């Protein structure tokens, strides 16, 4: 079993009442609820940070990818023009 630490937190009365109501309905306890809420929050934050990093990476690579595809298209068209009996569009 993992070692646990006791912490003290301060909550507004209204939030504590809501927590206690939820705990009573689910027959759980405050500690379980706080642990679950903290895990969920951390997982959500990790997901959003990872998504932002990936989004930035894709945006940074978009210009490079477009440039490479345009360059390859030009080279492909040039090669097609050099093939006997072919046009750049690839149609006989």
Estimate to the nearest angstrom the gap between the alpha carbon of 74 and the chain centroid. 35
How many domains is the chain built from?
A: 1
Digit-by-digit pLDDT tens for the chain (92 residues) are: 689 999 999 999 999 999 999 999 999 999 999 999 999 999 999 999 999 999 999 998 998 888 889 888 888 888 888 887 765 555 55
Confidence at residue 84, expressed as pLDDT on a 0 to 100 scale: 79
This prediction's pTM: 0.60
Q: Evaluate whether 19 touches 30 at the Cβ level (below 8 Å).
A: yes
- On whether residue 6 sits in a domain, the answer given is no
> Looking at the domain assignment, is residue 77 inside a domain?
yes
In a domain, residue 91? The reply is: no
In this predicted structure, what is the pLDDT of residue 1? 66
- Determine the number of helices (DSSP H) and then strands (DSSP E) in the chain: 2, 0
């Amino acid at each position: 079993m993992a070692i646990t630490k006791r912490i003290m937190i301060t909550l507004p009365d209204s939030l504590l009442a809501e927590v206690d109501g939820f705990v009573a309905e689910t027959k759980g306890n405050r500690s379980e609820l706080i642990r679950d809420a903290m895990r969920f929050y951390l997982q959500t934050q990790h997901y959003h940070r990872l998504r932002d990093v990936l989004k930035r990476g894709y945006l940074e690579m978009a210009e490079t990818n477009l440039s490479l595809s345009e360059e390859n298209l030009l080279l492909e068209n040039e090669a097609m023009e050099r093939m006997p009996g072919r046009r750049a569009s690839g149609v006989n």
